[in-house]
Structure 1
């Protein structure tokens, strides 16, 4: 039996060295999970064993270190979970390798052409709808359409020490600077994305009392005589400088411009105050914007794929789904940094980053291999010694047989 025992030891040590070699070879493979070999003794109805066998090779699914990614669509998982991938045939695979790019059709794929899955944003503006189906995520590079301004906000301070305007002697007239105390410009956009400049004028008519006028200076609203029509709103403050008019809104109206619809929306002034300091408005704004081209993408920590546009806007285009298993060690390795489900692994539990027992997904990060090179070098030395020792038992058995043969 000595030969068979030694031979089994040689085979087991050789397989163990194969596992170590594979680990070392993949020490720089993104998302790779190291393997470890398990041994079992062999008995065949005798008190002396028949040798050793490799009972299995298991994978270590502990996380690797997250490093900087090379692409805006690179992703890394900290904690438990896998990226869910499908191939063109619809077969589902799971991976920890977060190296992704877009294909010609805008789908997010890995290097093997498998599609990253998740929730696709739909609607206008795009959003993740409740109950959305899981499928390949597509990030189109189409232009974001313009949005007409339908509301605005303006807050700041009106100087309580401003001169009261005699509206009888100086009726409101934008061309007469003595007929108003100050003016603020607000940018707005029509249905085609044409930019309009809206002027908002402030006229102090008495202590704590003001009249606010507005005009779309780009495409003014005109009356029957061709004169500009100004919208107006009276507002009042108390002795503490707090606004008492509610709601305080100034309407903006204009005329159609370059094919776009006329402006017609309200600017909310509820945040206005009146104090003994200079008049100053805090970045007045409206909801509209011009059309924009895609400037790039970012991946949020919740797995949202967010597009940045040249008009300063952002839109969510999709959200990555993660999967986890009751027994990840039961997954079958399919190569190319991918695994597939088996009865031993259990069925996948799908969800978004940071929910349930799923880890956190980070954009522009990549998970390094979890191979411990120092430990692998030690294992290699141990298995090498084991191989040498088993070869020595075979050599010894051969010498004993030679002695017996010589006795004959």
Structure 2
């Protein structure tokens, strides 16, 4: 009798082995599918009768374990921008079934946005991630802070885009980096205020308000409604003394677009900031002054007081534009003006001129920063003996736009691209890791869930800790090796046949024994 049960155990075990192999082969084209490997173990042996040495006789075979194989399937490019694949064994996408409020993980990254803006799996589950903190990104950009990763806000949540537009952003920083030709000769200067000759001759009522600059550079800036305005920075050489050069500069916008209640409707309409730049004999910018209108008479230099400084040590001015929609004045916006030079002290020198009028004819009064607390950026305004030219301009404002595309980077950041040329980080995709992922429970529809054996999920970002990166516009195929599975199928089939022979042989033996009894 025991031989029959031994054969039956083989039939039962190898039939399960064939089922496992068949399931692997059935899912050879399933996105992100992980094959299973079945291991067999013997059953408890029985003591052999009639022996005194402890000999045992085996009683058959049983299924020892069925473990999920976590090796990575081949990664294939996809035309769908929201398709994703984890570029390594470590990591699983986190998805949620909102119907039963249950969270699963999966390796299948065939995601799509529905009409409501939810990023869903092919079976309708919500992909999880963190919302991006774009305010923190903007603040870091304006303070010259380098972020190690895209900042997020709040807990893990459904990735959902509710607004496929991007609101306009008023310019908060402009950067104009130039080279000012040191070979330029100084023109006729104002006898009282030689360092502000260009400003004093500025006339907003003239067709050409600035008629005596040596160079100018332009950059477009945006107001709170997203309307673009052309800002022009004018430069004029004022002095060459003891090997150092001094230049006057002036930041302006078209007079008709100036809605300030201080400079608007005056001969200085459109002037936002004035100041001076000091260059060493080697053409390196080493100091700067900056003044903005603060009194009641913008035509008087005494009304132009020291500009406030940002936390990164650069001057800023206030711009008030006229609304393009109704012609009224918009709210004032602060704009930092970067030339490449900043003060690490974060404040003006204690001996610097409090107003533009205080500079007068004094060369030494052009030292706005403490000379021991200045810093030159890699890209900084210079004063070399070559034709004046603009090295770089930039600003951080933009008009409103509509989303045209999305993409995912290797860190799992979901970006939106808009018609105004901007790219905006929207969400960071969440990934889960497990201590023992081979024992995750398969719940169907490419879903996996944690078990006691697998351990709880640890949720984090791609490319952090043990987690691998994410490939966008890519899908991971099944990791089933058809050649190996076909070999397993043949082996299990032969084993099944052999065990069936054991059963029939044992049956014949029992029939013969019954015949002897008769």
TM-score, normalised by the number of residues in structure 1: 0.88
- Corresponding pairs, count: 407
Q: 2:96 aligns with which of 86, 95, 113?
A: 86
Which residue number in structure 1 is paired with residue 83 of structure 2?
A: 74
Q: Is the 8 A contact 2:432 2:458 kept in 1?
A: yes
Task: Specify whether residues 95 and 227 from structure 1 end up closer, same or farther in structure 2 by C-alpha distance, changes over 3 A only.
Answer: closer
Q: Paired residue for 2:14?
A: 13
Mapped partners of 1:122, 1:229: distance in 2 = 35
Q: What residue number does 1:199 align with?
A: 232
Q: Distance in 2 between matches of 1:150 and 1:142?
A: 24
CA distance in 1 between counterparts of 2:155 and 2:316 reads: 44
SS in 1 for 2:494: helix
- Could you tell which deviates more after superposition, 267-276 or 36-45? 36-45
Paired residues for 1:54-69 under 5 Å: 54-69=63-78
SS in 2 for 1:133: strand
Displacement of 1:371 in angstroms is 1.4
SS of 1:79's equivalent in the other structure is coil
Query: 1:70 and 1:336, CA in 2 relative to 1: closer, same or farther beyond 3 A?
Result: farther
1:18-43 residue CA offsets vs partner (Å, 9 max, x unmatched): 11111112122121111112223334
Q: Give the one of 269, 272, 291 matched to 2:400.
A: 291
Aligned mate of 1:103, from 90, 110, 114: 114
Q: Work out the CA distance in 1 between the residues paired with 2:62 and 2:11.
A: 10
Deviations, residues 219-263 of structure 1 (Å, cap 9, x unaligned) = 443654566453432222221112232356585745413144466
CA distance in 2, matches of 1:373, 1:176: 79
The answer for the alignment partner of 1:121 in structure 2 is 132
Q: Which residue matches 2:186?
A: 164
- Listed as ranges, the gaps of 5+ residues in structure 1 are none
CA contact (8 A) 1:67 1:367 kept: yes
Distance 2:274 2:134 in 1: 36
Q: Distance in 1 between matches of 2:489 and 2:514?
A: 38
Q: Which of 458, 464, 483 does residue 349 from structure 1 map onto? A: 458
Determine the C-alpha separation between the residues in 2 that align with 1:306 and 1:181: 43
Superimposed CA distance per residue, residues 334-388 of structure 1 (whole angstroms, 9 cap, x where no aligned partner): 0111112222222222211222332333322322222122211211121122223
Aligned counterparts, 1:248-259, within 5 A: 251=317, 253=319, 255-259=321-325
Taking structure 1 as reference, are residues 263 and 141 closer, same or farther at Cα in structure 2, changes over 3 Å only?
A: closer
Relative to structure 1, is the Cα distance of residues 90 and 396 closer, same or farther in structure 2, using a 3 angstrom cutoff? same
Inter-partner Cα distance in structure 2 for 1:129 and 1:304: 10
Tell me how far apart the structure 1 counterparts of residues 125 and 82 of structure 2 sit (CA, whole Å): 15
Between 1:355-364 and 1:259-268, the stretch displaced more is 259-268
Do the aligned partners of residues 227 and 92 (structure 1) sit closer, same or farther apart at CA in structure 2, a change above 3 Å counting? closer
Question: Quick check: 1:237 aligned with 2:248?
Answer: no
- Displacement of 1:157 in angstroms is 0.4
200-209 vs 176-185, which deviates more?
176-185
Q: For 2:164 and 2:383, how far apart are their aligned partners in 1?
A: 46
Partner of 1:267: 337
CA contact (8 A) 1:212 1:250 kept: no
The structural deviation recorded for 1:320 is: 1.7
Return the alpha-carbon distance in structure 1 between the equivalents of residues 285 and 452 of structure 2: 68
Distance 1:27 1:150 in 2: 54
Deviates more, 1:333-342 or 1:116-125: 116-125
Counting only pairs closer than 5 Å after superposition, residues 113-192 of structure 1 correspond to structure 2 as: 113-121=124-132, 124=135, 128-129=151-152, 132-167=154-189, 171=201, 175=208, 179-192=212-225
Q: CA deviation at 1:142?
A: 2.8
How far apart are the structure 1 equivalents of 2:210 and 2:267? 22
Change (3 A) 1:344 1:178: closer
Q: In terms of mean alpha carbon deviation, does 289-298 or 178-187 score higher?
A: 178-187
Q: Tell me the equivalent position of 1:38.
A: 39
Greater alpha carbon shift after TM alignment, 71-80 vs 189-198: 71-80
Cα deviation code 1:20-79 (max 9, x no counterpart) = 111112122121111112223334745433332323322112222333234222222213
Residue of structure 2 in register with 1:50 after alignment = 59
Q: 1:303-338, CA deviations, whole angstroms, 9 ceiling, x for partnerless residues?
A: 222222222222222212221222223321101111
Q: Is the 8 A contact 1:86 1:115 kept in 2?
A: yes
Distance 1:211 1:104 in 2: 56
Contact (CA 8 Å) 2:171, 2:221: kept in 1 or not?
Answer: yes
- Within the candidate set 436, 440, 450, 1:331 is matched to 440
CA distance in 2, matches of 1:180, 1:119: 51
How far residue 86 of structure 1 moved from its aligned partner, in angstroms, is 1.2
Of 449, 452, 456, the match for 1:340: 449
- Is the Cα–Cα contact under 8 Å of residues 94 and 103 in structure 2 kept in the other structure? yes
Cα distance in 2 for residues equivalent to 1:14 and 1:33: 21
The structural deviation recorded for 1:189 is: 0.5
Q: Which moved more, 1:178-187 or 1:45-54?
A: 45-54
SS at match of 2:471: strand
* Between 245-254 and 60-69, the greater mean CA deviation after superposition: 245-254
Decide which moves more: 287-296 or 363-372: 363-372
**3-state SS of paired residue (1:185):** strand
Distance 2:69 2:422 in 1: 43
For the 8 Å contact 1:154–1:284, the answer to whether it is kept is yes
Looking at structure 2, the residues matched to 164 and 219 of structure 1 have their Cα atoms a distance apart, in angstroms, of: 31
